[in-house]
Amino acid sequence: MMNQNQKLISVRNLKKYFPLKVSWLKIFKERPYVRAVDDLSFEIKYGETLGLVGESGSGKTTVGRTLVRLENPTGGQILFEDVDLAKLFGESLRTKRKDFQMIFQDPMASLNPYMRIGNAIEHPLKIHKMGNKAERKIRVYEILEKVGLPPEEFYNRFPRHLSGGQRQRVVIARAMVTNPKFVVADEVTAMLDVSIRSQILKLLIDMKNEFGLTYLFITHDLASAKYICDKIAVIYLGKIIEIAKTYDIFKEPLHPYTKILIASVPVPDPKMKKKKFIPSGEIPSPINIPSGCRFHPRCPYAMEICAKVEPELKEINGRTVACHLYD
């Protein structure tokens, strides 16, 4: 890979606000917004996997959907190689789509129930006019084989005949069939059974190694991110609060919220019955984002300044974190 150490994706000040429906009476007031993604910047190098970890309502899925332009960003840049995806529309966006793909959380819902597996995987090739009919079929067989579904058995089946894990393999095959450079994997294992989850993670790792892919791996589960990500970004209420190499995050989490997330992962050991620190409260709604540091109402280390000044995401001793504790 000639482009090692170069940026594939570079997201700058990305914003995605959703307007809220308001009643007629309040029409003259300022229109409220859900600030799902609020001024986010990060970059992903060629061949790297960045984990985006957060709770539901943190905006992590919106980041993924905006990156592959299923949503139009409210502001900011999405530099993909040298093209700003945020500025692409219509036909130029459509044809560019073969270079980036997304795998969704729910494998039961992400396949058209009326399309046979073979056709579903072939469809991206057809859309982007890649190869003739025979070539496309060979390619589909090849990719089915790669994701561990014997083509003879699965090519002509409908999604309803497949288990959740098998469907997720089909979705992965469909995402990879056009040889994209970048894939957003959104909670791909969340809806699968425990004994299937690790299989799918393994498959994603294998596919990445084989095709030299770059991933954005979105999850709420820090533990599974550990196995696949080179770097992890923790997102809270639409902002990244810490970003670091996977090893560093687990070795020494800096942000209090990161610490809490790591401590929340259940440990299968009955001897760990020790009293853990359990944070109070839940993630607030992104309509009313707390002042200052977004996390301060739940933070055990909150100081006076935290309620007033929003901490910047900055580099301190080689680590990147947004917290006043490290000022």
Partner 1 sequence: MSLLEARDLSIEYLTRDGNLKAVENVSFSLGFHETLGLVGESGCGKSTIGLSLLRILPINARMKGKILYKEKDIAILPEEEIRSLRGKEISMIFQDPMTSLDPIMRIKNQFFETFRAHFQKMKEEEMIKISSDVLKSIGIDPSRLENYPFEFSGGMRQRVMIALAIVLNPSLLIADEPTTSLDVVVQLQIMEVLKELKDKRNMSMVLITHDLGLVAEIVDKVGIMYAGNLVEFGDVNSIYENPLHPYTRLLLISIPNVKLEDMELKYIKGNLPSLKSPPAGCKFHPRCPFVMDVCTKEDPPTFEINERKVKCWLYEGEHDESKSETNIG
Partner 2 sequence: MDGSSGEILMISKEIRKGLRGLFKDSSGLMAVIGFLILIFYVVVAIFAPFISPYNPTQPSGPSLLPPTVSHIMGTDNLGYDIFSRLVWGTRMAFAIALIATAIAAVVGIPVGLLVGYIGGKTDRVVTMIMDSVYAFPGLILAIAIAAMLGPGLLNIAFSIAVVYIPTYYRVIRSQVSTVKSELYVDGARAIGAKTSTIIGSYVFPNVLPSTIVIFSMNLADSIMTEAGLSFLGLGIAPPTPDWGYDLAKGQQFILNNDWWMVLFPGLAIITIVLGFSMFAEGLDEYFNPNIGEKR
- Nearer of residues 30 and 269 to partner 1, judged by Cβ: 269
What is the DSSP secondary-structure string of 57-98? TSSHHHHHHHHTTSS--SEEEEEETTEEGGG--HHHHHHHGG
Site string for partner 2, 55-74 (x = CB under 8 A): ----------x--x-x----
Rule CB under 8 A: say whether 156 interacts with partner 2.
no
DSSP state for residue 322 in the 8-state scheme: -
Report if residue 264 touches partner 1, rule: CB under 8 A.
Answer: yes
Strand order in the sheet with 7-19: 33-45, 7-19, 75-80, 83-84
Please, which residues bridge with residue 287 across strands? Answer: none
Least Å distance, CB 213 to partner 2, is: 16
Least Å from the CB of residue 216 to partner 1: 19
Per CB under 8 A, the list member of 1, 21, 29, 266 interacting with partner 1 is 266
Residue 158 contact partner, candidates partner 2, partner 1, none, CB within 5 to 8 A by sort of partner: partner 2
Q: Is 235 helix (H, G, I), strand (E, B) or coil?
A: strand
**From the list partner 2, partner 1, none, which binds 221 (C-beta under 5 to 8 Å, kind-based)?**
partner 1
> Measured from the CB of residue 229, what is the shortest distance to partner 2 in angstroms?
22
On whether the CB atoms of residues 267 and 86 are closer than 8 A, the answer is no
Amino acid (one-letter) located at 24: W
Does residue 225 interact with partner 2 by CB under 8 A? Answer: no
Provide Rg for the chain, Cα atoms.
Answer: 21
Stretch that binds partner 1, among 38-46, 170-178, 199-207, 315-323 (CB under 8 A): 199-207
**Residues 164/108, Cβ–Cβ less than 8 Å:** yes
What's the angle, vertex CA 126, arms to CA 125 and CA 127, rounded to 5? 95
In this structure, the chain runs to a length of 327
List of residues contacting partner 2 (CB under 8 A): 65, 68, 70, 94-98, 101-102, 104, 106, 109-115, 123-124, 127-128, 158-160, 171, 174, 178
List of residues contacting partner 1 (CB under 8 A): 55-56, 163-166, 193-199, 201-202, 205, 220-224, 226-227, 247, 250-251, 260-262, 264-273, 276, 278-280, 282-283
